[in-house]
Amino acid sequence: MVDIVLVQQNGSGGIIMIKKEVQLEKWGDAYGIRISHEELSELGVSDLEATFELVVEAGKMTLTPKKKMPTTLEELFENYDGPPPEKYEWDGPQGRELL
């Protein structure tokens, strides 16, 4: 099968849409569609462990990459470049809190 790829670019040369015909392939007891490296990189996906949300509705299938959520504080703040947080002094109990 020869891929015929339609690529639309915006004014600055960035890709805004890739459209092509793909072949459904049998893989074991399931079926699959191959996604090229170029297509994944356009989505910002570089991790082979990436997960996607699959929605089938009104005769269409949409595949959307899910953002990987940080699992540690270090991951959460790894790209933070703001000022360091000030130490917060908690006030004493205000009611009937259990300590």
Q: Which residues contact 65 (CB under 8 A, 6 or more apart)?
A: 43, 44, 45, 50, 51, 52
In a domain, 26, yes or no: yes
* 15 pLDDT higher than 90: no
CA 25 – CA 33 distance, rounded (Å): 6
19 belongs to a structural domain: yes
Q: What is the CATH number of the domain that holds 37?
A: 2.10.260.10
Predicted confidence (pLDDT) at residue 41 exceeds the cutoff of 80: yes
Query: Is 69 part of any domain?
Result: yes
Residue 30 lies in a domain: yes
**C-alpha–C-alpha distance, residues 31 and 29, integer Å:** 7
Residue 97 placed within a domain: no
Q: How many CA atoms lie within 13 A of 44 on its CB side?
A: 6
Distance CA(48)–CA(46), nearest Å, equals 6
| pLDDT higher than 60, residue 2 | no
pLDDT digits (tens, 9 = 90+) for 46-74: 877 788 899 999 998 888 888 877 888 88
Query: What total of structural domains would you count in the chain?
Result: 1
User: In which domain, by residue range, is 18 found?
Assistant: 5-76
